[in-house]
């Protein structure tokens, strides 16, 4: 699954932003408050809308009036174009507005084209809780197939049809899109949360803040010994001295992480190892996940890591993007950018209250300067990306 394009209207600082031709790994730079976290939160918003409904997704963010771009009346719209493998380009569109002061789904569409030239099939086309939905997706692709569409009604106009219509469980494209949204993950790792021991339990994926690191370590160690060994091998290459990491259950039923330094007999508790050691270990646990997330967003991965490690970290992220899911990263680090490719880099500029997102690749000058030996991080620091620095 790959997101090819995103068009956002009236969502907070993004009054009208369009991203196209997205690569599998995208890196975003921009001043504080330019909207990097807001961009990732588009997926959080869609997940909350899918798990609950749009009213609750808005309420969690302060309500419609807080979320809608200041000065606008609406609707808030998201258009996401994605592709499964070599399948057709699928467009999902949703518009959220207010009716009598209550948030509703004004419009929801899912469509894709039959072949290169055919007309797009509208698999669903809903407004305010009512609409048409196709009932014969399995015929899609057969040249003579005619669409069969049924009028349907949802329980409430603030529910997404991709959730509310039971029949869509069977639709490949809807299932793929739901998986993308439901299993999307943001990593905003906090070392202080990852250090303490945890009550024993079960966790298969690292949480956003990393506070279940010991449990996920135990899970991978018990169920995927080969993956665990790869993590340890990488760890000892990158953090001098580290030979082994264990998740151990204490007598009072807690799980502690212990790091073994080759120079000493007894292992250290996670509480006493360095910040960078924990962080590198947590990233490896996140990136070597046996069941990767379809979309992984990572906030400022550079913090606490030794600059020369960032080059390898970028490689790890890129590897995940190839074999796992798509990766979006925000960064403030020139060292990190030095390992990023031009086509992967985007920059955010906030002007008169709203943000635009530009592609580094579109600057003609930059191709020339990189050829002459300049580095991407260096050029960013020098202010080559117009408007990127705070004034
Ligand atoms: N309804 C709205 N309309 C316009 N702008 C908004 C709205 N709600 C929030 N904002 C603005 O959006 C920005 C939020 O930015 P965000 O937290 O995404 O930035 P960031 O790039 O992640 O910054 P940092 O580097 O500090 O983490 C703030 O500048 C805030 O004022
Ligand atoms: Mg942020």
The predicted-structure confidence for 220-246, as pLDDT tens digits, reads as follows: 988 999 998 898 888 888 877 777 787
Q: Say which range, 18-32, 57-71, 74-88, 91-105, has the weakest mean pLDDT.
A: 74-88
Domain ranges of the chain: 2-20+38-184, 186-340
- Give me the pLDDT at residue 189, please: 87
DSSP string for 177-235: HHHHHHT-EEE---HHHHSS-EES---SS--TT-TTHHHHHHHHHHH-HHHHHHHHHHH
Query: What is the predicted pLDDT for the residue at 255?
Result: 83
Question: Which of 11, 17, 34 is the best mutation target for the ligand 1 pocket, counting ligand atoms within 8 Å of the beta carbon and taking the most?
Answer: 34
Res 224: pLDDT:
94
**Tokens standing for residue 144:** 């003579």
To the nearest whole percent, how much of the chain has pLDDT over 90?
A: 58
At 324 the pLDDT is 87
Give the pLDDT band (50/70/90) at residue 192. confident
- E-strand ranges in the chain read 2-11, 14-19, 25-30, 76-83, 89-99, 102-113, 120-127, 130-134, 149-153, 185-187, 198-199, 242-249, 254-261, 268-269, 295-299, 326-330, 345-351, 354-359
Q: Which two tokens stand for residue 135?
A: 């009932």
**By the 8 A CB rule, do 78 and 3 touch?**
no
Cβ 292 under 6 angstroms from ligand 1: no
Q: Kindly tell me if the per-residue pLDDT of 206 is higher than 80.
A: yes
Q: 167 pLDDT band (50/70/90 cuts)?
A: low
Give the mean model confidence (pLDDT) for residues 254-258.
81
Question: pLDDT at residue 5 above 90?
Answer: yes
Q: Which atom of ligand 1 approaches the CA of 68 most closely?
A: 1
Residue 160 and residue 183: Cα distance in Å, rounded? Answer: 17
pLDDT, residue 274, reads: 77
- Nearest alpha carbon, ligand 1 atom 28: 33
Q: What angle do CA 133, 97, 187 make, to 5 degrees?
A: 85
Give bridge partners of residue 80 from the DSSP assignment. Answer: 6, 92
Where does 288-344 have alpha helices with state H?
A: 307-323, 334-337
Q: Provide the mean pLDDT of the chain.
A: 89
Ligand 1 centroid to residue 55 C-alpha, Å: 21
Hey, CA dihedral for 247, 248, 250, 256, is it positive or negative?
A: negative
Residue whose Cα lies nearest atom 2 of ligand 1: it is 12
> Which tens digit of pLDDT belongs to each residue from 73-128?
989 999 999 998 888 899 999 999 999 999 999 999 999 876 666 778 888 899 99
Question: What number does CATH give the domain 186-340?
Answer: 3.40.50.300
Ligand 1 lined by 331 (C-beta under 6 Å): no
Residue from 8, 31, 32, 33 to probe ligand 1 pocket by mutation (most atoms less than 8 Å from CB): 33
Residue whose CA lies nearest to ligand 1 atom number 13? 33
Q: Which atom of ligand 1 is nearest to the CA of 34?
A: 21
Using DSSP's 3-state secondary structure scheme, residue 101 falls into coil
Does the C-beta of 38 come closer than 6 Å to ligand 1?
Answer: yes
Atom of ligand 1 nearest to the CA of 38: 18
């Amino acid at each position: 699954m790959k997101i090819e394009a995103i068009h956002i209207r009236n969502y907070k600082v993004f009054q009208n932003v369009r991203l196209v031709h997205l690569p599998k790994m995208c890196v975003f730079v921009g001043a504080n408050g330019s909207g990097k976290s807001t961009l990732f939160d588009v997926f959080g918003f869609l997940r909350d809308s899918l798990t609950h409904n749009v009213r609750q997704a808005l309420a969690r963010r302060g309500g419609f009036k807080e979320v809608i771009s200041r000065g606008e009346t609406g609707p808030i719209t998201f258009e996401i174009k994605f592709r499964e493998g070599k399948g057709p380009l699928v467009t999902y569109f949703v518009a959220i507005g207010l009716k009598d002061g209550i948030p509703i789904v004004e419009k929801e569409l899912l469509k894709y084209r039959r072949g290169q030239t055919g007309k797009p099939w509208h698999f669903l086309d809903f407004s305010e809780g009512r609409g048409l939905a196709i009932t014969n997706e399995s015929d899609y692709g057969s040249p003579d197939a005619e669409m069969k569409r049924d009028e349907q009604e949802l329980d409430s106009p603030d529910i997404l049809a991709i959730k509310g219509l039971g029949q869509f469980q069977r639709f490949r494209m809807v299932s793929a899109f739901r998986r993308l949204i439901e299993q999307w993950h943001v990593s905003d790792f906090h070392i202080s949360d990852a250090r303490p021991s945890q009550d024993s339990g079960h966790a298969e994926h690292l949480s956003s803040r990393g506070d279940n690191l010991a449990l996920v370590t135990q899970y991978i160690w018990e169920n995927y010994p080969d993956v665990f060994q790869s993590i340890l091998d990488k760890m000892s290459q990158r953090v001098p001295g580290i030979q082994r990491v264990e998740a151990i259950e204490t007598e009072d039923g807690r799980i502690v992480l212990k790091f073994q330094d080759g120079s000493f007999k007894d292992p250290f508790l996670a509480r006493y190892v360095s910040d960078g050691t924990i962080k590198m270990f947590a990233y490896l646990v996140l990136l070597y996940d046996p069941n990767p997330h379809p979309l992984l967003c990572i906030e400022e991965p550079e913090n606490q890591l030794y600059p020369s490690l960032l080059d390898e970290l970028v490689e790890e992220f890129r590897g995940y993007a190839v074999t796992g899911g798509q990766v979006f990263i925000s960064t403030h680090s020139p060292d990190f950018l030095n390992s990023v490719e031009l086509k992967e880099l985007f920059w955010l500029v906030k002007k008169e209250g709203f943000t635009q997102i530009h592609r580094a690749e579109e600057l003609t000058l930059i191709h020339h300067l990189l050829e002459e030996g300049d580095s991407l991080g260096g050029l960013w620091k020098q202010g080559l990306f117009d408007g990127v620095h705070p004034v």
